[in-house]
Chain A
Amino acid sequence: MKKLILTTAALALAAGMATAADTVRMGTEGAYPPWNFINDDGKVDGFERELGDELCKRAELTCEWVTNDWDSIIPNLVSGNYDTIIAGMSITDERDEVIDFTQAYTPPDPSSYLANAADVDVTGGVIAAQSATIQAAFIAEQGWTLVEFPTPEETVAAVRNGEADAVLADQAYLAPFAEEDGLFILEREEMIGGGVGLGVRESDGELKAKFDAAIQSMKDDGSLNALITKWEVASTW
Chain B
Amino acid sequence: MFSFCSDPETLGTVRWFACYLTTGKHMSLYWSVLTVLSLLAITAPAALAFGFFGAMSARSHVLPLRWLGKAYIAVVRGVPDIAFFLFFVIALDQAFEWTRHQILCPDWTDPIRQGNDFIVCDAAKLPLSSAAQWVHEVYGFFLAVLTFAIVFGAFAANVLFGAMRAVPRGQLETAEAYGMTRRQTFWRVLVPQMWLYALPGLSNLWMILIKATPLLFLLGVEDIVYWAREMGASANRRFTDYPHGDWRIWYFLALLVFYLSFTRVSEIVLERINRRLLHGQATVGGGSR
Contacts and interface: CB of A to CB of B under 8 A. Distances in A.
Interface in B110-134: 114-120, 122-123, 125, 128-130, 133
Nearest to A23: B130
Interface stretch (B59-67, B86-94, B155-163, B176-184): B86-94
B177 to A, nearest CB: 58
Interface residues of B, number: 42
B27 interface: yes
A20 B220 contact: no
B93 A66 contact: no
Contacts of B2: none
Interface stretch (B166-174, B205-213, B239-247): B239-247
B233 interface: yes
Interface in A1-49: 16-17, 19-25, 30-31, 33-34, 37-43, 45-46
B25 interface: yes
B68 interface: no
Contacts of B115: 202-203
B142 interface: no
Interface in A115-163: 151, 153, 156-157, 160
A208 interface: no
A72 B130 contact: no
Interface string A196-234: 000001110000000000000000000000000000000
Contact of A72 (B25, B218, B242, B246): B218
A39 B239 contact: yes
Interface in A69-127: 69, 72, 75-76, 78-81, 83, 98-99
A114 B35 CA distance: 38
Contacts of B122: 17, 20-21
Contacts of B94: 79
Nearest to B217: A69
B28 interface: yes
A39 B116 contact: no
A153 B116 contact: no
Interface in B4-63: 23-25, 27-28
Given A42-B27, A79-B90, A66 B233 contact: no
Contacts of B128: 20
Given A17-B122, A40-B25, A176 B233 contact: no
Given A20-B129, A34-B239, A45-B239, A181 B233 contact: no
| Top 7 A-B pairs, shortest CB-CB distance | A41-B24, A153-B233, A176-B236, A20-B130, A42-B24, A42-B25, A42-B28
Given A34-B238, A78-B116, A181-B245, 17 more contacts: A25-B129, A39-B25, A39-B240, A42-B28, A78-B117, A78-B118, A79-B90, A79-B93, A80-B120, A81-B220, A151-B233, A157-B248, A160-B246, A176-B236, A176-B239, A202-B114, A202-B116
16 contacts: A20-B129, A31-B230, A31-B233, A33-B239, A34-B238, A39-B239, A41-B23, A69-B217, A69-B218, A72-B218, A80-B118, A153-B229, A156-B234, A157-B248, A176-B236, A177-B234
